[in-house]
Amino acid sequence: MTPQDSVTLDYRVLGCALEVHKALGPGLLESAYKECLYYKLIKSGFLVEKEKPMPLIFEEVKLECGYRIDLLIENKLVLELKAVEALNDIHLAQILTYMRLGNFNLGLLINFNVRILKNGIKRVIL
């Protein structure tokens, strides 16, 4: 086992997010952070899906793309990115919905619009 294997996936992904935040700081649009973090994660060797469609089924209605996950890492970790004044309950509900629909157990809700990124991170486990 390599030293990198001993570090959890979410910890390694957060390292990339911290690098992006350190370089860009707060105040940009969510889309800018998403593109930069996507680039950084790919460059770091992660398998990343951007804007992953999530189907929604209700009775006989099936929407092929009811929702989109911002970033899905290694088909295990859901990243929901924000650039808002403060995270609130609706943001948590959003990532929980994505996790339930996709049967994922681990998610990170990250708000880049904070002075210190650790204050904008919420780890979510189902």
Mean pLDDT of the 72-96 span:
97
- Chain-wide mean pLDDT for the chain? 92
Domain of residue 61 covers 9-125
Whether 4 is in a domain gets the answer: no
Residue range 105-125, pLDDT digits in tens: 999 999 999 999 999 999 999
The answer as to whether 49 is a domain residue is yes
Token output for 39: 């680039």
CA distances, 39 to each of 35, 47, 49, 57, 88 (Å)? 6, 11, 11, 32, 27
> What is the pTM for the complete model shown?
0.90
* Tally of domains within the chain: 1
- What is the DSSP code (8-state) at residue 6? T
